[in-house]
Structures are given as C-alpha cells and as structure tokens.
Amino acid sequence: MARVVLGMLGCGTVGTGVIRLLSQHNTLHLKKVAIKDAGKQRAVTLPCPLTTDPAELVDDPEIEVLIEVMGGEEPALTLIKKAIDKRKHIVTANKEVLAKHGPELFKLSRQKGVAIFFEASVAGGVPLISTIQKGLEANKINSVVGILNGTTNFILSSMEEKGEDFQTALKKAQELGYAEADPTSDIEGYDVAYKLSILSALAFGKFAEPKTIFRQGIAAIAPQDFINAKQFGYRIKLLGRTQMNERGLNTRVQPHLVPLGHPLAAVSGANNGIVVNGDAVGELTMIGPGAGELPTASAVVGDVINLESALGLPDFASYFQAAISPSFADLADPGDWVSPHYIRLEVKDTPGVIGRIGTAFGNHQLSIRSIIQKDASQGQASVVVMTQAAPTRNMDAAIEELKQEQFLRDQAVVLPLLEATS
C-alpha cells in the first residue's frame, strides 16, 4: 500500500501520543509538524521537521491528511477550512471547532469531496463515534446520555468519597493536573455542551449550537447533597444528554442524581461513560478513559488508519458523513423537559415552613414523592424534596415563588433524577 502523507497541527499532549503511536505504522508517513513554540522541550523525538508556520502544511500539495490537535477555536478553524479547500482530509480532536462550526465544515468538506474524522473529539479513547456511526448502523438512536467530562467526574467522586466541599476538591484536581488553572469550561459545562453538539449530529443528523444548549454547572453542589442522594439510593454525576422527541431536540448539561444500580453510577474518577439507546439494540454502555495522551491519540491514529483503508472508496466522503446535515438543530424549549427532581432548600426553622413549601410546589402541579426536614439546629434547617416527574418549567416557577418567602436562606439546589431506564 502506498504511504499516506500526513501533516500535524499542534504537538502538545495528544500530539505527543500521536507521534508515539504513528511510529508503529509504517504505511503512514508524518511529513511535518506545525507548532507554536520552536524552543519548547518535547517528550518525544520528532520523526520529521518542525515549523512555526502552519501554512507550510496547509499549502503542501503532498500532504493528503491533516491531523489537527492544537485545540481551541482559532487559528484551528481557519486552518482546517483552508486545508479542506485544498482538498485535504481532516482528522481532528477539536470539539470546540466542530461543535460551533460543524455545519459549515461538513458542507465545505462535501463540496470538496474530503472526509472529516473526529473520533477523538468526544470521550477520548472510547470509540463512541465509530460505534454510533458504524456499530449501531441498523438502529434509530433514541438518546445518548453520558459522563463526558473527566475533570468534573473526578471532582464529584472526590467530594462524594471524602466529604470535601467543591472548592477543596477543585483545588486538589488542579494540583493533580486533572483541572486547568481556569476551570470554567469544565465546571460550567461548556466542554460537555461541545461534545453534545457533536453527538447530536451523529445521533440525529444535526449539530446543536453550543450557546443554545441548556447548561447547569457543578459549583453549587455541597457535601450534604451527596449524603442526601446516597440515602435515597443515588450518586451525583454531571451528565450530558441529547434526545429527540416531538418538540425537537432536548440537549442539556446538568448534574443528575443517578441510581446506584445504573451503569453510569459506577463510572468513577476521570473516566467517561456513555449509554446509547437504540431502537433495535436497546441500551449499550461504553466506559473508558475520556482523556489522556495515549487514549486520545489512540482515537486520532485509529481515525488515520481507518481513513487510509477507505481512501480507495469511490464515494469516499459520503461514506462517512452522508447522514450529517449542514445546519444546526432547532432545540426544544428546556422548560419542556420532564423529569423527577431532587431539591435542597436551606431555610430558617420556623413553624409552617414545610407547609408553605408544599403549597408552592402544589401551586405549580408538582407532586411530591417525599419531603424531609434535616439538620435543624440554631434556627436553621435543610429541607429535601423529591418530586414526581414534571416539566422543568413548573419546577422553576415553584422555586421562583419560594424565593419570595422570608424563610429561604440560600439558593435552592435543584437536580434532576436519571430514571433507571433513561
């Protein structure tokens, strides 16, 4: 087989892993790597010349496949578009570029007859994308629900296991290199929203524009929420979920109470775990490393090898992405989302509080499964409410009503429950 000529944009953690793995495949020839800082020490010896000018790769007619592992929106987006314009196939790990500009990129790639492979952009080493695209080809996908961010899963696992508060667990994750100095993208759910945009394209044919995806981060969760959850038989996990129903695409990032017997409850530390529900297969769970040098490089190089094998296909570009439409999906109103909820209210311990909480929920058609007052001391108490399934809109309205009450001491913590069969 002729050697496929590759170029690579970026050589950080993932790029280093790619170089390690490519050395085992002699049909693949890495011609040049573009980097930002030519003076930086690297953990691998590069098998090819370096350049600080990415145009040298994008404009090189000999390079057939461009690997993009630089990350971030720009200049990655501009470089990928130029490379597609020059009819290069793209292998990318860049969730942000795909999530925000997927429709434009896929439209362009179809016009130019090239392929975009992106296994590494979601769930790192877990071959989730090829599983949805090829392994579940005979299925209509109903939903995808998962733990898609290792950083927040690590933090939540620490809080649960060690009773730490959020700030302590975050600081430890930063010290261990699991969380970045600015952790906003992880803890506020942006990272998961990018991944959900891509998963929506695979499962339902259209990207979900990240800024339109409902997001709730993990910063408001406190140690007592884990204790409360455990008493009811749950664990707290940040989930991304996307699901098509009659009102449109429901796509959201939100910490959930996950039942202990559910396969996602067992996903601990920095791992990712995803449940895909297909009309024929039922529920398929995949669990594995969501990040890291070699796992992510495993996905990138797997893409390169699969792309190489398929290069001879007559209708090559459409073989891999015919089903992805070049437009963003219309998302359903997040208030329509129906779920049971866990609510923790910090209140002044005065007579009649439980009654007024119950009334507020009743005013918005929320049935209560259980209501428990806990930890009453020094005139303060914690009230934990578990509701039956109801639209999020009603939940929000009930909480709004309670905010008018003098007895509410703090923001309510409101978390949906993942049902045993999602």
Residues marked as catalytic:
195
Number of residues that bind its own copies (CB under 8 A): 52
Mark the segment that binds its own copies (CB under 8 A) among 138-146, 148-156, 192-200, 351-359: 138-146
Q: How far apart are CA 57 and CA 77, in angstroms?
A: 15
Kindly state whether residue 290 participates in binding its own copies, applying the rule CB under 8 A.
no
Q: Which of 150, 210, 295, 416 binds its own copies (CB under 8 A)?
A: 295
Instruction: Establish if 286 lies at the interface with its own copies (CB under 8 A).
Output: yes
Q: What are phi and psi of 275, to 5 degrees?
A: -115, 120
CA atoms of 128 and 302, how far apart (whole Å):
12
Query: If you search the block for the tokens 């795909």, which residue do you land on?
Result: 98
**Binding span for its own copies by CB under 8 A among 19-27, 59-67, 230-238, 248-256:** 19-27
**Minimum Å distance from CB 151 to its own copies?**
18
Q: C-beta of 395: minimal distance to its own copies in Å?
A: 30
In angstroms, what is the minimal distance from the CB of 360 to its own copies?
A: 38
Position 150 contacts its own copies (CB under 8 A): no
The answer to whether 197 touches 210, Cβ cutoff 8 Å, is yes
Residue 346 amino acid letter: E
288 binds its own copies (CB under 8 A): yes
Question: How far is it, in rounded angstroms, from Cα 95 to Cα 69?
Answer: 10
Q: How far is the CB of 316 from its own copies (least distance, A)?
A: 9
Query: Pattern 90-119, binding to its own copies, x per CB under 8 A?
Result: -----------------------------x
Q: Among 23, 29, 37, which residue's Cα sits nearest to residue 8?
A: 29
Q: Check binding of 306 to its own copies (CB under 8 A).
A: yes
Residues 384 and 372 sit within 8 Å (Cβ to Cβ): yes
String of DSSP letters for 6-67: EEEE--SHHHHHHHHHHTT-TTEEEEEEE-S-TT---SS--SS-EES-THHHHT-TT--EEE
Binding its own copies (rule: CB under 8 A), the pick from 59, 74, 137, 165 is 137
- Tell how strand 116-117 and strand 89-92 pair up: parallel
Q: What is the nearest approach in angstroms of its own copies to the Cβ of residue 185? A: 24
Q: Tell which one of 2, 167, 315, 406 touches its own copies (CB under 8 A).
A: 315
Min CB(203)–its own copies separation in Å: 15
**DSSP secondary structure, 298-366, as one string:** HHHHHHHHHHHHHTT-TTHHHHHHTT--SSBPPBPPGGG-EE-EEEEEEEE--TTHHHHHHHHHHHTTP
Segment near its own copies (CB under 8 A); pick from 64-72, 132-140, 150-158, 234-242 = 132-140
Q: How far is the CB of 44 from its own copies (least distance, A)?
A: 14
Is 298 a binder of its own copies (CB under 8 A)?
yes
Q: By CB under 8 A, name the one of 19, 291, 301, 390 that touches its own copies.
A: 301
CA 145/CA 129 separation, integer angstroms: 14
Q: Which of residues 316-345 bind its own copies (CB under 8 A)?
A: 319
Strands (E) across 157-280 are located at: 214-215, 234-245, 248-259, 271-278
**What pairing do the DSSP bridges indicate for beta strands 341-348 and 413-416?**
antiparallel
Binding of its own copies by 29 (CB under 8 A): no
Beta bridge partners of 35: none
For residues 29 and 356, which CB has a smaller minimum distance to its own copies in the complex? 29
- Binding residues for its own copies, rule: CB under 8 A, are 17, 21, 24-25, 119, 125-127, 130-131, 134-140, 261, 263, 266, 268, 278-289, 292, 294-295, 297-302, 304-306, 309-310, 312-315, 319
